[in-house]
Chains A and B, each alone.
Chain A
């Protein structure tokens, strides 16, 4: 992936790749973080940092193949929001405590804020943007509208992604079970009782979830 803001000259993707290929001696340095720090202090910082900070990442997001270069410290959440502009996935705490960032990775619900983007290499990620089939909403999305399972809407993508897996996991057999298995997703507006109704409705609706 290209730098969004190629503002500083040393920081362009092409030169970085060339630099990386040609410079095996410096590549060895990558194994020695202290050296990197020292090099950085001597002013080589930007080039070296750029060279070693990025890793290739091939990942499928919402059925689209991406070939990216990302820093290992970038979370899946920040990759989605800040680099790919898939902003349907929300940041609520950045600590895996609120569930607003819930996405599906290979069919499992995960907190994307606790998932380093590079760990999704070769995996399939589905976000809220990839849930509907074109204009046709997913049954859980439809149920959230019907039962007013939200207010401000900020936790909603995470709630819906979580609810879809909750049903698929077989954890939506009765309202109390839904309450338990949806308790990783905080809704501060307090739409829970409507969310439970929406999930139960979607589950009972008999449509493919």
Chain B
């Protein structure tokens, strides 16, 4: 093995992406393709009284119009749609698309038009007319704070360590509330699906999904199909950020329509529908209560979070997790509650709940540092812990002290004047802020097929996904390191449900989980090759043992004898050698707490007259174990920072609560960062392998890139202006004087 993961590799699918040859779900052309467009509810809660589809049905090219009146029954949906939706906190999905006349949220589909061209489907959908009986509704979390419900199950339980009231008697106390609005994932690729049936019991879909196996399972469940009769393809995914972690009801609807009309149906949702039907980061209100000694030792920490879910389904996430283990503190209490509202159900959005929680905790830590007249890094070091105080066990690896140091040096942290509103650049106020992020690192179960062929290539297959981080690139790197094949001779295929199973891409687990399967499969191939040589290689290999063999450049060497694997296969009349291996975590992992950490620094300019905030410089440091693919890993980090800048300064999905409708459901009004908003971003990797998590020593990185970053910006704004903004996003109106 050569230098371990030292060579930055260009993205293996880069050429396909820069030439337009990469095919995303909507770009598969099937014979007899038809086009679907959804008409959606104009009210927020109530029922459909009449729905007139006649004009749509008679419009040119229309093949079918589905409403709740003629929706085919879905065998896997056994619940009685005439029954009212259950109360929240009971769990389980009860919303059935076109399942009844009931309207549960604004923008809910009320009809699906299928036509022979996109334009004809769009026009016909505009002809659908419905009348409704309106019912009262609630879409405003701030007006329904008293309706919080406990989430069922251990993950929803309140957490207590020591005395929850300890902060009340501390020498220095802080109690603050932090609010984060609804944010919408808005990947650039619109959501949708292509569904095509063969007969009544076999379906192929091209999906926008973060997990082909998960989509396959959803279709199997809905239509009661055998696994072998459900094929899901999703080779390229135009971003997900969490919204493609489940199969949404409208995907099942399209599959049902395709079955009914006997032709392939393609749905590509519109951008405004991306706000209502495919989840979002839920609105949240958080309280942090901190108590500290005058020297900065935390003596009490309470973190309470209120978040929203839908009326028909629970959604819960790890908003309060970080407070349980990030800092040494004997007295910690957390509570998490959800309020059912008449909006579609949320879903994890990058960094998920942990990013929501980190904004609150890491802003509060900054506030406490200023109260104590301490440096924010010094406060964090004072409460640093080498063991996980939640589970009372060591971290598998933690290089956070080093990360503070590297980041602080790079941005010039200690050269700043720490006093608020003390630094200027012309008429702009200058501020520095820092924060931390942390996310669970784990290794799940995955499978990988690996084939060396007599043409000198290595093929790897796993039903993994790549929504953008560069999964294929990392997997090729791992295979290259283990089996010594040149990277251009290795291909990694994913996004196909017929490949060996792998989990969905989410929670920063793919490199660890699928990477381990690749590692094991390549190691297993190595053994096969060694055994082949020992058994059939002749006298050159007499007396050798497995330890005598080394692999590089597609060759295997023992002592002075080197042979290319391709020619070995030819000599042995073997077209290929193949293995399929399963990989999962060992019991050792239960002895450690495994986390990836990020330490963020931001330098901002704030214009005192206009309230404009510009992020001028960013340094972000990741302790995510060994870096497998330096180039794509750096991209993950700058992407997370960019998302964090959006969260801090501009992202907010606004509902007009009089009507329950999103009013900024487009890219002109829902602001995401554009190039002019993003400075140069320095990424630093600790790049030390975690000794426990997996054979590569790689922890995860996608989530920590974003987690905490919004707090770094907010803290920098405070340093610049002396104003603490606890309600995201930090828009100019909140800063203007």
Contact = CB atoms under 8 A, between A and B. Distances in A.
A46 B60 contact: yes
Contacts of B23: 87
Contacts of B14: 144-145, 148, 150
Interface stretch (B552-560, B564-572, B630-638): B630-638
B119 A190 contact: no
B674 interface: yes
Contacts of A95: 271, 666-668
Interface in B550-596: none
A189 interface: yes
Contact of B673 (A78, A190, A194): A190
Interface in A170-202: 175, 178-180, 182-196
Given A131-B19, A188-B187, 7 more contacts: A92-B271, A127-B20, A145-B11, A145-B15, A152-B240, A175-B680, A192-B678
A192 B236 contact: no
Interface residues of A, number: 72
A193 B679 contact: yes
B13 A183 contact: no
Contacts of B138: none
Given A189-B639, A193-B638, A148 B11 contact: yes
Contact of B468 (A98, A152, A194): A152
Contact of A128 (B19, B29, B116, B119): B19
A180 B166 CA distance: 51
Interface in A43-69: 45-46, 49-50, 53
A186 B674 contact: yes
Residue among B14, B18, B21 having the largest count of chain A Cβ atoms under 10 Å = B18
Interface string B233-251: 0001111110000000000
A106 interface: no
B467 interface: yes
A167 to B, nearest CB: 14
A22 B681 CA distance: 66
A180 B681 contact: no
A157 B638 contact: no
A190 B187 contact: no
Nearest to B241: A188
25 contacts: A78-B119, A87-B27, A92-B271, A142-B18, A148-B632, A148-B634, A148-B635, A151-B470, A151-B636, A152-B187, A152-B468, A153-B13, A154-B239, A178-B675, A179-B676, A180-B676, A183-B676, A186-B188, A187-B642, A190-B639, A190-B643, A192-B673, A192-B678, A196-B675, A196-B680
A86 B20 CA distance: 8
Give the contact-size bracket for chain B.
35 or more
Interface in A63-106: 71, 73-74, 78, 81-82, 85-95, 97-98, 100
A153 B236 contact: yes
A4 B32 CA distance: 8
B411 interface: no
B644 to A, nearest CB: 9
A189 B666 contact: no
Nearest to A75: B119
A155 interface: yes
B490 interface: no
A112 interface: no
Nearest to A47: B60
A182 B59 CA distance: 41
Contacts of B667: 92-93, 95, 97-98, 186
Given A183-B675, A183-B676, A89 B20 contact: yes
A175 B469 CA distance: 25
Contact of A93 (B241, B470, B666): B666
Interface of A: 4-5, 7-8, 11, 40-41, 45-46, 49-50, 53, 71, 73-74, 78, 81-82, 85-95, 97-98, 100, 127-129, 131-132, 137, 141-142, 144-146, 148, 150-157, 160, 175, 178-180, 182-196
Interface in B633-683: 634-636, 638-643, 666-668, 672-681
B27 A81 contact: yes
A40 B189 CA distance: 36
Nearest to A154: B238
Nearest to B10: A145
B188 A98 contact: yes
Contacts of B238: 90, 152-155
Residue among A87, A128, A129 having the largest count of chain B Cβ atoms under 10 Å = A87
B589 to A, nearest CB: 29
B672 A188 contact: yes
Residue among B24, B58, B239 having the largest count of chain A Cβ atoms under 10 Å = B239
B678 to A, nearest CB: 4
A11 B241 CA distance: 43
A188 B239 contact: yes
B117 A187 contact: no
A4 B29 CA distance: 11
A95 B666 CA distance: 8
A7 B631 contact: no
Contacts of A40: 58
A85 B30 CA distance: 11
Contact of A153 (B17, B641, B673, B675): B17
B188 A152 contact: yes
Contacts of A98: 188, 667
